[in-house]
Amino acid sequence: MRLGVLQETYPNERRVALIPALAPQYAKLGFEALVQSGAGAGAYHTDDAYRQAGAQVLPTREAVLAEADIILTVRTAGANPNFEADLPYIRAGQIWVGFMEPLYRPQGVQQLAARGATAFAMELIPRITRAQSMDALSSMATVAGYKAVLLAAHLSPSMFPLLMSAAGTVSPARVFVIGAGVAGLQAMATAKRLGAAVSGYDVRPATREQVESVGAKFVELPLEVAGAETAGGYARALEEDTLRRQQDLLGEHLIQHEVVITTAAVPGKRAPLLIPRRVVEAMPAGSVIVDLAAEWSGNCELTQPGEIVQHGGVSIVGAVNLPATAPIDASMLYSRNLYNLLAHLHKVGMLAEPTPDHTDEIARETLVALGGRITHPRVAPSAG
């Protein structure tokens, strides 16, 4: 089968779905790589590097779409507002793999299904042990958490570490991270390495040990939350009264910190609103909020995706697609996630004969569209 690798069209996207080093590994599985000219430029991979790795470089996007059986992407369907330009070139039976936002923006997957394409969404990799090497959400969250701290340190008018000099002592910056998922834990660890005094909070009490393991202080709120975690390990959406109480309790801690990084998200739903305007207005001037949930409406009421909003001396960063700002390593990690998934789907026969009721959990859970319809039980209701 022929793998097609396209140049990404999402704004400021610099990652690529296949790095040259993996082309020979795909070849061993019987796949031929077709790469659009310039596809790897944003991640500093040249066309010659792909040719030397055994891939065929085609001059146009249309040529790749016309010849490839499987299209590997970073952001497509609902995860890319420019996706519709590809629709006329998508043919029935063609397999698309990438981030698609099927639960939050299912319209893109609907369009793929309408063209008769088969779609596998990277967001739906099940959180089970044997799928860890395919978990692109975790890989990209690691990059996002790291970059969020660097962005906050750049924007903050204060330095992060404790410094002592003849002129006096500089106190460490106080950093508060909301959410102890992969991105949150990486943010805590990075801020700690930079010398900040780090605190972390998560609605799931079981994350205390993880927060403390990276050197942060776990903040526990007097808030009773039953069933705060789903079977897949994600945080569950809270009831309205509980969420309002959480806002008030968090606000008491937020106003004591110079830097706040939020990572709270619920799959398929609007991100929980944790920082209302009134809390922002109570924070000290010069404070920085980096909202990693900006693409899903944000954890802060004042967040604007892709913008830095100034309000009462507080900078609110609507962080969008931070992994693309570290394209070399992010592309390497994502490419390996894709390769591990494709190798697995090939092994269980899901590429040759896709079926929504496959016995393999990974194959079954990542398939979202087949034969002109949306087949995933969690995606179909939201897609109508």
Decide: residue 307, CB within 10 A, 0-12 exposed, 13-18 middle, 19+ buried: exposed
Say if CB 348 and CB 88 are below 8 A apart: no
**Which tokens go with 32?**
């031929």
Residue 277: count of CB within 10 angstroms of its CB: 12
Q: In angstroms, rounded to a whole number, what is the distance separating the alpha carbons of residues 341 and 344?
A: 5
Task: Mention every residue, 6+ apart, whose C-beta is less than 8 A from residue 5.
Answer: 16, 17, 18, 33, 34, 35, 36, 39, 55, 64, 72
Say if CB 272 and CB 239 are below 8 A apart: no
Catalytic site residues?
127, 132, 135, 138, 234
How distant, in Å, are the alpha carbons of 79, 293, 295, 384 from that of 105? 7, 15, 11, 12
Pairing type for strands 367-370 and 373-374 reads antiparallel
- The three-state secondary structure class of 313 is coil
Task: Mention every residue, 6+ apart, whose C-beta is less than 8 A from residue 56.
Answer: 32, 33, 34, 35
How distant, in Å, are the alpha carbons of 70, 129, 180, 246, 325 from that of 186? 33, 20, 9, 23, 16
**Which tokens go with 154?**
């750049």
Q: In angstroms, rounded to a whole number, what is the distance separating the alpha carbons of residues 188 and 184?
A: 6
Say if CB 128 and CB 104 are below 8 A apart: no
